[in-house]
């Protein structure tokens, strides 16, 4: 109890995100900071306080452009938070956005700040092409050549293959310690839990249908329009495929394990640009500025596991989170598990229902049990929306808060798998009017 | 060391003499007889000096080097001889600096214009702060050309192509560009300015010289060739009888080049004569009119930080962009994102053109926030309405705005026709509403009418004027009456032009007549540019008050969708936004008859405005028409034009003109009486 008293309560006051914009084979119209600015300026404009009243700004981002060093501070300045605003950037791979929130929670809980803007942003479409090592060495030789003959000699050494670029996006989505791409780890999860291609494709269709339904009934109230300098504007997530069918998905070839695999582009999350931001506040700030409260952040849990099955990360983190808070599966009204891959989410559900796995890996005396899929990712997920790695962790927390409020439900867990073999889970509570 | 009224001398540890210009009782450094005589004494005392390593001429003011010569002097010379004498004296002082044995540096931080730059060009070296400094020879804008050797030294330093171009256009450049052009030796950030100035004294590298090719442009036969090309280009823009100075300075250069004493003498004599031309006198007057508008509400310390604009159409969007460009935070509201997006695109193009550096463009873009929900209303210091011209819609909007806005926020409408006293009827505090009426295109038009209704609180009006100044526009305080000043005077002029069209005079001829009078474009082209739908709606509105007829052809054209430039066809046809020119169109009516008729219409309406007190005095009518419509500045504005031609004569001419058209002339009020009223 004493421990509880030391910790101040933390509230989600408000939040917003950009439409998630599918990468279309060339750099998108927004840089990572542009995206965050688009999400942040209206979010801040509608508050009763000024941007300069914030205590700090924390942003998750894995691939800021070379011009966006410490992108958190850059975005703080661009949003008019003022020169004196401390701001920083965090990385925990696919959970960077959730990491930013967790850091804000800690700073508020400790009493360091009362109002924090936290979230994540990613312009995956702008992930740069890099020179390969041979090219870099050749260039170093050229620049280092002292005189013209030496330069000429170095020029002659040039080979065409030096020009083959390194695609940083693919490198980022590969785990160097095990030499497996993220998609291959999903293949391994599918193998271990017997997830079939059909199951994955069916899950993908469900994701698209849920996002489409949410868009049509205007449930995605956290999405703000984004405006580009060339006069374009974006109102909705554009990766949703309303017309997709099992037949169409079945026609796609496996992308990661060519020929014999079952993870395809259709049942994986899309490569997408987007930003999601949350305003977090202490009780003091809520009172001072008369802020509405969307939800309370109760706790957050991180866990590590075998990198080659990183997609199972959520169950390690979420199980520990519930145990720590003396809650069981039935205490949770709604779940978000980020859809990096259909195989991986389905793997999580299967693992929780697997007695041996629960016993060996989670130390449970009986299986955790199946989650009701009607309470999981009810507004769809990253397979339809895309997975801008810096932003997704923040997006699912914000979406879950909105779902709890809408459904007048009490508790929710948002969890996410993390490349490199981790999982993160956040427990939030609705504190507004609740159903019977 | 001797002391001077306007100059402060200091010696530093390296034995460099710093000569700070700090003009007595002035916030800005300008050169006049007294300051130049003192400088002359200082330079004389250095002639045989062995004590100093060199001199650095710098400003003792917080900002600005030297803004130029004192313009109020321009109209005080007794005769041409006195003017020429004074110019030659100035030249000789600068020549003395140039011939000092010790090195000299002009250290430029801020404005360095006209006489200021001519003085700097006499120094052996020049260093300038790189981004904020403005350097140039803008004399032609006042109807004269450089008179202290600027028109000789500048082309000599950097060649005629760039040098003469700067003099002929009067354009100013920043320090970086000046260094690129070559007439500044080093452009540096402010933190290195003093170090750089001292470097040139202590190391005295060889002074800047024109390159071989640049030098060649000043030698015959190239000089003659170039002069012809430049003259032709100049004629495309201006006419020698309107603006003689640039043509004169070009002739001088062509005739005597840049070597020896002769070009200096020719420059002084030619410049001296120009002082006594009508163009110079009128342009100097216009300069002071501008100063008067700039000086309005100077004591008001209103510093708006957040502007909210409702309506993201051409006007609203451009107003919002301009406010953001000027450093304010702006929220731009319209019903849906799709109406705001085009304004964002235009703002980006504007910022790119004006700011160039991508980081500055991004800063400006970040200050401009689309706000379809109108969250900005609650926080803004100024709220500007720029929606369509509909009384009920505006009333509706202001009612909502008043409920949400901060109590001290200014509520402003950009209406061009609806009387403020009708809009403000729905307000709890009608004294809060003021008109801030911009002209299209906002980034180009200097004038902004600040409209006071019968109820507008004068503190609110002051704040509005102060806000307009912070946007670097010229505020013109006007009474809320139909059409305010500019549109009201413009309308009868446009209607008369359409009447002429009906009479069969070709549009090209009408426009030519007015361009020759000195307008930036003729009335028919103007109507097409403004948009015929806009013209029609203003005409319809004003006809209620002014008892004027709306030309059938205008109504007909709008009905057919011929709206002018924007629709591709109006009175002219347009291809890619450019007028399709018809050649060899002539008319039997002499051009001066056409321009007389049109100008007199404008003059008559100007006097009517004066009589009704739309603005305080005739000077403000002139200022409004010059800065709001480009009314030939060298003619000094409609009222001044009438005065200079003789009000009586011109009035008789106008009455005759009306009689010939079969109008009743009894109701036309005399102009003379209007002048007396004011």
User: Min CA distance, B349 vs chain A (Å)?
Assistant: 9
Q: Cβ contacts (< 8 Å) between B340 and chain A: which residues?
A: 227, 233
Does residue B553 share a domain with residue B653? yes
Structure tokens at B640: 């001044």
Find the distance separating the first CA and the last CA of chain A, reported in whole Å: 29
Q: Cβ contacts (< 8 Å) between A78 and chain B: which residues?
A: 362, 366
* Nearest CB to B341; choose among A37, A80, A232: A232
The residue with greater pLDDT, A60 or B483, is: A60
Does residue B166 share a domain with residue B54? yes
Is B298 part of any domain? no
Query: Any CB–CB contact under 8 A between A326 and chain B?
Result: no
Answer with the one of B480, B511, B532 that is the final residue of a domain.
Answer: B480
| Confidence at residue B440, expressed as pLDDT on a 0 to 100 scale | 86
User: What number is the average pLDDT over the span B530-554?
Assistant: 85
Contact between A414 and A425 (Cβ < 8 Å)? yes
Q: What is the DSSP letter of A60?
A: E
Structure tokens at A240: 């949703």
Structure tokens at B204: 């005295």
3-state secondary structure B191-252: HHHHHHHHHHHHHCCCCCCCCHHHHHCCCCCHHHHHHHHHHHHHHHHCCCCCCHHHHHHHHH
Name the residue of chain A whose CA is nearest to B369's CA.
A41
Is 60 exceeded by the pLDDT of residue B302? yes
Contact between A298 and A325 (Cβ < 8 Å)? yes
- B449 bridge partner residues: B437, B476
Q: Is A208 a catalytic residue?
A: no
User: What number is the average pLDDT over the span B342-356?
Assistant: 96
φ/ψ (deg, to 5) at B565: -50, -45
pLDDT one-digit tens code per residue, B617-676: 999 999 999 999 999 999 999 999 999 999 999 999 999 988 888 888 888 888 987 776
Does residue B145 share a domain with residue B75? yes
Query: Any CB–CB contact under 8 A between A44 and chain B?
Result: no
Name the residue of chain B whose CA is nearest to A38's CA.
B369
pLDDT one-digit tens code per residue, A408-435: 999 999 999 999 999 999 999 998 765 4
Tell me the C-alpha distance between A384 and A395, whole Å. 14
- Complete DSSP assignment for B133-183: -EEE-GGGGGT----SSHHHHHHHHH-HHHHHHHHHH--EE-HHHHHHHTS
Tell me the C-alpha distance between B487 and B590, whole Å. 27
Structure tokens at A251: 């026609």
Structure tokens at B438: 């911009």
Is B533 part of any domain? yes
Is B301 part of any domain? no
Q: Cβ contacts (< 8 Å) between A227 and chain B: which residues?
A: 337, 340-341, 344, 370
| Confidence at residue B544, expressed as pLDDT on a 0 to 100 scale | 81
Q: Cβ contacts (< 8 Å) between A79 and chain B: which residues?
A: 366
What CATH number should be reported for the domain holding residue B593?
A: 1.10.1040.50
Q: What is the DSSP letter of B601?
A: H
Of B627, B674, B607, B612, the closest CA to residue B293 belongs to B627
Does residue B492 share a domain with residue B469? no
Residue appearing with tokens 């003192």 = B38
Is B191 part of any domain? yes
Which secondary-structure segment (H or E) carries B365?
helix B358-367
**B366/A79 Cβ within 8 A:** yes
Testing the interface with B: which of A30, A43, A45 to mutate, by most B Cβ within 10 A?
A45
Q: Cβ contacts (< 8 Å) between A41 and chain B: which residues?
A: 366, 369
Region for residue B362 given its phi and psi (left: phi exceeds 0; alpha: psi -120 to 50; beta: otherwise): alpha
Tell me the C-alpha distance between A273 and A278, whole Å. 18
For chain A, give the mean pLDDT.
95
C-alpha pair distances (Å), B544 with each of A228, A326, B465, B550, B661: 44, 79, 29, 10, 22
Q: Cβ contacts (< 8 Å) between B370 and chain A: which residues?
A: 42, 225, 227
Does residue B362 share a domain with residue B395? yes
Contact between B594 and B611 (Cβ < 8 Å)? no
Residue appearing with tokens 């912070």 = B470
| Confidence at residue B580, expressed as pLDDT on a 0 to 100 scale | 87
Query: Any CB–CB contact under 8 A between A233 and chain B?
Result: yes
The count of structural domains within chain B is 3
* Nearest CB to B371; choose among A42, A228, A233: A42
Testing the interface with B: which of A42, A47, A290 to mutate, by most B Cβ within 10 A?
A42
A residues 64-93 lying closer than 8 A (beta carbon) to B: 78-80
Of A61, A81, A94, A348, catalytic: A94
Does residue B500 share a domain with residue B430? no
| Confidence at residue A175, expressed as pLDDT on a 0 to 100 scale | 92
Find the distance separating the first CA and the last CA of chain B, reported in whole Å: 54
| Confidence at residue A170, expressed as pLDDT on a 0 to 100 scale | 84
Testing the interface with B: which of A229, A232, A289 to mutate, by most B Cβ within 10 A?
A229
The distance of Cα B230 from the centroid of its chain, to the nearest Å, equals 23
Q: Cβ contacts (< 8 Å) between A231 and chain B: which residues?
A: 341-342, 344-345, 348
Is B1 part of any domain? no
Place B548 in a pLDDT band, splitting at 50, 70 and 90. Answer: confident
Rg of chain A over all Cα atoms, to the nearest angstrom? 22
User: What number is the average pLDDT over the span A145-157?
Assistant: 90
**A235/B366 Cβ within 8 A:** no
What CATH number should be reported for the domain holding residue B200?
A: 3.90.226.10
φ/ψ (deg, to 5) at A130: -110, 155
Is B50 part of any domain? yes
Region for residue B209 given its phi and psi (left: phi exceeds 0; alpha: psi -120 to 50; beta: otherwise): beta
Local structure of B269: helix, strand or coil: helix
* Nearest CB to A45; choose among B331, B344, B345: B331
| Confidence at residue A436, expressed as pLDDT on a 0 to 100 scale | 41
Tell me the C-alpha distance between B196 and B614, whole Å. 54
Does residue B84 share a domain with residue B182? yes
Tell me the C-alpha distance between B239 and B182, whole Å. 31
pLDDT one-digit tens code per residue, A48-77: 999 999 999 999 999 999 999 999 999 999
Structural domain harbouring B613: 487-677
User: What number is the average pLDDT over the span B575-580?
Assistant: 85
What percent of chain B is predicted at pLDDT more than 90? Answer: 85
User: What number is the average pLDDT over the span A301-315?
Assistant: 97
* Nearest CB to B375; choose among A46, A225, A228: A46
What percent of chain A is predicted at pLDDT more than 70? Answer: 98
CB pairs under 8 A between A and B: 50
Place B530 in a pLDDT band, splitting at 50, 70 and 90. Answer: confident
pLDDT one-digit tens code per residue, A247-299: 999 999 999 998 899 999 999 999 999 999 999 999 999 999 999 999 999 99
Is B295 part of any domain? no
C-alpha pair distances (Å), A207 with each of A214, A271, A386: 11, 16, 11
Which secondary-structure segment (H or E) carries A303?
strand A295-304
Answer with the one of B460, B480, B500 that is the final residue of a domain.
Answer: B480
Structure tokens at B674: 């209007």
User: What number is the average pLDDT over the span A141-147?
Assistant: 90
- How many residues are recorded in chain A? 436
Residue B99 neighbours by CB under 8 Å, 6+ apart: none
Is 50 exceeded by the pLDDT of residue A2? no
Q: What is this structure's pTM?
A: 0.92
Is B643 part of any domain? yes
User: Min CA distance, A67 vs chain B (Å)?
Assistant: 11
Does residue B34 share a domain with residue B62? yes
Tell me the C-alpha distance between B179 and B108, whole Å. 12
Of B258, B177, B171, the closest CA to residue B220 belongs to B258
Q: Cβ contacts (< 8 Å) between B337 and chain A: which residues?
A: 225, 227, 233, 235
pLDDT one-digit tens code per residue, A367-418: 999 999 999 999 999 999 999 999 999 999 999 999 999 999 999 999 999 9
Name the residue of chain B whose CA is nearest to A44's CA.
B375
The distance of Cα B314 from the centroid of its chain, to the nearest Å, equals 22
Residue B286 neighbours by CB under 8 Å, 6+ apart: B622, B623, B626, B633, B636, B637
Tell me the C-alpha distance between A255 and A251, whole Å. 12
Does residue B520 share a domain with residue B405? no
| Confidence at residue A5, expressed as pLDDT on a 0 to 100 scale | 55
| Confidence at residue B64, expressed as pLDDT on a 0 to 100 scale | 94
What CATH number should be reported for the domain holding residue B314?
A: 3.40.50.720
User: What number is the average pLDDT over the span B369-379?
Assistant: 97
Q: Cβ contacts (< 8 Å) between A42 and chain B: which residues?
A: 369-371, 373, 375
Answer with the one of B480, B514, B532 that is the final residue of a domain.
Answer: B480
* Nearest CB to B345; choose among A45, A230, A235: A230
Tell me the C-alpha distance between A183 and A91, whole Å. 21
Name the residue of chain A whose CA is nearest to B331's CA.
A45
Tell me the C-alpha distance between B46 and B54, whole Å. 10
Place B583 in a pLDDT band, splitting at 50, 70 and 90. Answer: confident
Q: What is the DSSP letter of A69?
A: T
Contact between A428 and A400 (Cβ < 8 Å)? yes
Rounded to 5°, the CA angle B261-B267-B273 comes to 140
Testing the interface with B: which of A19, A30, A41 to mutate, by most B Cβ within 10 A?
A41
User: Min CA distance, A404 vs chain B (Å)?
Assistant: 25
Does residue B140 share a domain with residue B256? yes
Does residue B654 share a domain with residue B621? yes
Rounded to whole angstroms, the maximal C-alpha distance in chain B is 84
Tell me the C-alpha distance between B495 and B510, whole Å. 12
Does residue B338 share a domain with residue B415? yes
């Amino acid at each position: 109890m004493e421990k509880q008293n030391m910790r101040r309560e933390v509230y989600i006051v408000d939040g917003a995100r950009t439409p998630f914009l599918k990468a279309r084979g060339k750099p998108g119209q927004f840089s990572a900071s542009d995206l965050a600015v688009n999400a942040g300026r209206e979010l801040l404009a509608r508050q009763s306080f000024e941007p300069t009243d914030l205590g700090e700004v924390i942003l998750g981002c894995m691939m800021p452009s070379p011009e966006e060093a410490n992108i958190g501070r850059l975005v703080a300045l661009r949003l008019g938070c003022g020169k004196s605003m401390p701001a920083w950037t965090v990385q925990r791979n696919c959970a960077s956005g959730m990491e930013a929130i967790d850091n804000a929670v800690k700073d508020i809980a400790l009493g360091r700040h009362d109002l924090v803007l936290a979230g994540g942003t990613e312009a995956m479409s702008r992930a740069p092409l890099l020179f390969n090592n041979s090219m870099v060495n050749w260039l170093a030789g050229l620049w280092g050549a002292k005189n013209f003959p030496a330069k000429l000699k170095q020029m002659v050494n040039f080979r065409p293959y030096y020009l083959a670029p390194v695609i940083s996006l693919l490198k980022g989505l590969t785990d160097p310690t095990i030499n497996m791409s993220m998609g291959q780890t999903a293949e391994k999860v599918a193998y271990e839990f017997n997830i079939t291609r059909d199951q994955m494709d069916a899950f993908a269709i469900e994701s698209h249908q849920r996002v489409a339904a949410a868009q049509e009934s205007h449930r995605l109230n956290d999405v703000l329009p984004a405006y580009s300098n060339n006069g374009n504007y974006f109102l909705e997530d554009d990766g949703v495929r309303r017309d997709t069918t099992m037949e169409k998905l079945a026609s796609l070839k496996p992308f990661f394990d060519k020929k014999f695999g079952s993870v395809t582009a259709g049942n994986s999350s899309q490569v997408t640009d987007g930003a999601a931001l949350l305003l977090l506040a202490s009780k003091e700030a809520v009172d001072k500025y008369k802020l509405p409260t969307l939800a309370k952040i109760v706790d957050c849990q991180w866990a590590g596991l075998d990198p080659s099955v990183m997609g199972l990360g959520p169950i390690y983190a979420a199980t520990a989170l519930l145990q720590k808070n003396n809650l069981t599966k039935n205490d949770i009204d709604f779940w978000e598990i980020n859809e990096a891959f259909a195989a991986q989410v389905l793997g999580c559900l299967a693992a929780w229902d697997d007695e041996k796995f629960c016993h060996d890996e989670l130390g449970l005396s009986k299986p955790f049990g199946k989650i009701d899929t009607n309470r999981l990712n009810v507004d769809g997920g990253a397979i339809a929306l895309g997975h801008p790695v810096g932003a997704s962790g923040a997006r699912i927390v914000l979406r879950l808060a909105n779902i709890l409020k809408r459904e007048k439900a009490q508790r929710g867990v948002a969890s996410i798998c993390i490349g490199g073999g981790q999982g993160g889970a956040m427990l939030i509570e609705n504190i507004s009017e609740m159903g019977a | 060391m001797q002391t001077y009224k306007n100059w402060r001398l200091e010696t530093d540890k390296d034995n460099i003499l710093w000569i700070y210009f700090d003009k007595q009782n002035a916030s800005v450094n300008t050169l006049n007889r007294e300051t130049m005589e003192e400088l002359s004494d200082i330079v004389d005392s250095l002639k045989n000096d062995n004590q100093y390593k060199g001199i650095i001429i710098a400003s003792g003011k917080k900002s600005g080097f030297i803004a130029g010569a004192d313009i109020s002097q321009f109209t005080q010379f007794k005769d041409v001889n006195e003017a020429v004498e004074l110019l030659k004296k100035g030249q000789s002082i600068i020549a003395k600096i140039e011939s000092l044995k010790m090195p000299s540096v002009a250290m430029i931080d801020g404005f360095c214009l006209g006489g200021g730059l001519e003085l700097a060009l006499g120094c052996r070296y020049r260093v300038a702060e790189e981004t904020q400094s403005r350097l140039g020879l803008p004399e032609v804008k006042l109807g004269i050309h450089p008179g202290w050797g600027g028109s000789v030294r500048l082309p000599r330093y950097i060649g005629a192509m760039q040098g003469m171009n700067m003099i002929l256009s009067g354009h100013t450049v920043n320090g970086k560009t000046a260094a690129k052009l070559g007439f500044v030796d080093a452009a540096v950030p402010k933190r290195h300015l003093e170090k750089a100035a001292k470097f040139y004294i202590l190391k005295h590298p060889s002074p800047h010289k024109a390159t071989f090719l640049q030098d060649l442009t000043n030698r015959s036969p190239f000089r003659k060739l170039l002069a012809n090309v430049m003259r032709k280009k100049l004629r495309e823009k201006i006419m020698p009888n309107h603006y003689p100075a640039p043509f004169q300075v070009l002739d001088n250069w062509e005739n005597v080049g840049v070597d020896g004493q002769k070009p200096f003498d020719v420059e002084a004599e030619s410049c001296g004569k120009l002082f006594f031309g009508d163009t110079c006198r009128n342009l100097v007057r216009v300069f002071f009119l501008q100063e008067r508008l700039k000086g309005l509400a100077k004591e008001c310390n209103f510093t708006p930080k957040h502007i909210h604009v409702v309506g993201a159409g051409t006007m609203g969007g451009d107003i919002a962009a301009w406010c953001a460009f000027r450093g304010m935070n702006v929220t731009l509201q319209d019903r849906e994102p799709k109406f705001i997006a085009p304004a964002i695109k235009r703002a980006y193009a504007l910022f790119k053109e004006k700011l160039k550096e991508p980081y500055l463009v991004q800063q400006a873009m970040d200050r401009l926030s689309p706000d379809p929900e109108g969250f900005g209303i609650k926080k803004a210091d100024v709220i500007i309405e720029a929606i369509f011209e509909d009384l009920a819609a505006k009333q509706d909007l202001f009612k909502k705005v008043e409920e949400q806005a901060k109590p001290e926020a200014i509520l402003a409408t950009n209406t061009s026709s609806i009387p403020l006293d009708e809009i403000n009827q729905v307000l709890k505090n009608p004294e809060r509403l003021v008109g801030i009426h911009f002209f299209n295109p906002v980034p180009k038009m200097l004038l902004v009418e600040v409209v006071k209704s019968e109820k507008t609180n004068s503190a609110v009006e002051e704040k509005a004027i102060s806000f307009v100044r912070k946007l670097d526009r010229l505020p013109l305080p006007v009474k809320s009456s139909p059409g305010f000043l500019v549109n009201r005077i413009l309308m009868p002029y446009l209607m008369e032009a359409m009447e002429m069209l009906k009479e069969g005079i070709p549009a090209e001829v009408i426009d030519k007549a007015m361009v020759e009078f000195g307008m930036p474009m003729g009335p028919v082209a103007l109507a097409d540019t403004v948009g015929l739908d806009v013209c029609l709606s203003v005409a319809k509105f004003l006809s209620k008050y002014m008892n004027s007829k709306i030309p059938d052809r205008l109504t007909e054209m709008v009905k057919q969708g011929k709206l002018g430039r924007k629709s591709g066809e109006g009175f002219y046809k347009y291809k890619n936004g450019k007028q399709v020119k018809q050649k060899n169109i002539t008319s039997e009516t002499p051009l001066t008859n056409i321009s007389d008729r049109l100008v007199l219409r404008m003059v008559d309406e100007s006097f009517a405005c004066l009589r009704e007190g739309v603005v305080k005095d005739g000077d403000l009518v002139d200022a409004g028409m010059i800065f709001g419509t480009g009314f030939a500045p060298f003619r000094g504005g409609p009222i001044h034009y009438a005065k200079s031609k003789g009000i009586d004569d011109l009035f008789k001419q106008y009455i005759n003109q009306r009689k010939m058209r079969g109008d009743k002339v009894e109701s036309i009020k005399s102009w003379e009486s209007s002048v007396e009223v004011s």
